[in-house]
Structures are given as structure tokens and as C-alpha cells.
């Protein structure tokens, strides 16, 4: 299982498949929640995730594909776009400088 300390996160990508609606809103929400940190939050399709990303947040249906496109990166899959515990855990790990683990491969 891949992990990273919240203090070491510099770039988060919210990845989507093709659409840009809800995932763009989630990226905006994360920017607001993490505005006191120096973390860059971006939105990209799964197929164009930049190499310098530390954490990728994506819908659980895209998690395996995300892992294949970005090996070694912490992948945080969620089930619902707003209020998901996995996203809350990411924000908490950053704010409290705690360890964050990506989901294990199924």
C-alpha cells in the first residue's frame, strides 16, 4: 500500500474520466479546504495526470485505471463527490501532518 505524510504533499490532482462537472467542483472544494497550505490542487483526466503529482483523488470506478496510469502515486478513491470520508481523511492528513495511505489494489 502506497503512503505519504500530509506534510510532504505538494500537488494533488482530482482525476476524472471525460467529464468535468463534479470533479472540477471537488477540486475547487479541496483548494478552499487546503488554502492555508501551499498545496497545488489541479484537475486532469486520468490519462493526463502529470508526473509530479503526489496524490490523485478519483472516483472508485477509476481507481485501478489511475493506478495503471500513475504507478507509485497515492490514489485516494471516493464513492460520492461531496462529503466522502476518503476526501475528509486526505484533508485531515494534510492539516494534521499525518500519514495518508492510498487504497490497496482490489
Is 40 marked active-site?
Answer: no
Identify the active-site residue in 16, 40, 58, 69.
16
User: What CA–CA distance (Å, rounded) separates 61 from 33?
Assistant: 24
Given a contact cutoff of 8 angstroms between Cβ atoms, the answer to whether 101 and 9 are in contact is no
Question: Following CA atoms 104, 101, 65, 85 in sequence, which dihedral angle do they give, to the nearest 10 degrees?
Answer: 100
User: What CA–CA distance (Å, rounded) separates 21 from 33?
Assistant: 19
Q: Which residues form the catalytic set?
A: 16
Amino acid at each position: 500500500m502506497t503512503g505519504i505524510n500530509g506534510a510532504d504533499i505538494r500537488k494533488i490532482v482530482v482525476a476524472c474520466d471525460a467529464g468535468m462537472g463534479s470533479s472540477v467542483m471537488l477540486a475547487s472544494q479541496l483548494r478552499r479546504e487546503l488554502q492555508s497550505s501551499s498545496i497545488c490542487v489541479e484537475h486532469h483526466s486520468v490519462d493526463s495526470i502529470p508526473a509530479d503529482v503526489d496524490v490523485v483523488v478519483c472516483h472508485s470506478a477509476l481507481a485501478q485505471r489511475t493506478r495503471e496510469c500513475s504507478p507509485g502515486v497515492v490514489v485516494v478513491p471516493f464513492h460520492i463527490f461531496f462529503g466522502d470520508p476518503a476526501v475528509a481523511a486526505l484533508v485531515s492528513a494534510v492539516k494534521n501532518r499525518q500519514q495518508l495511505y492510498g487504497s490497496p489494489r482490489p
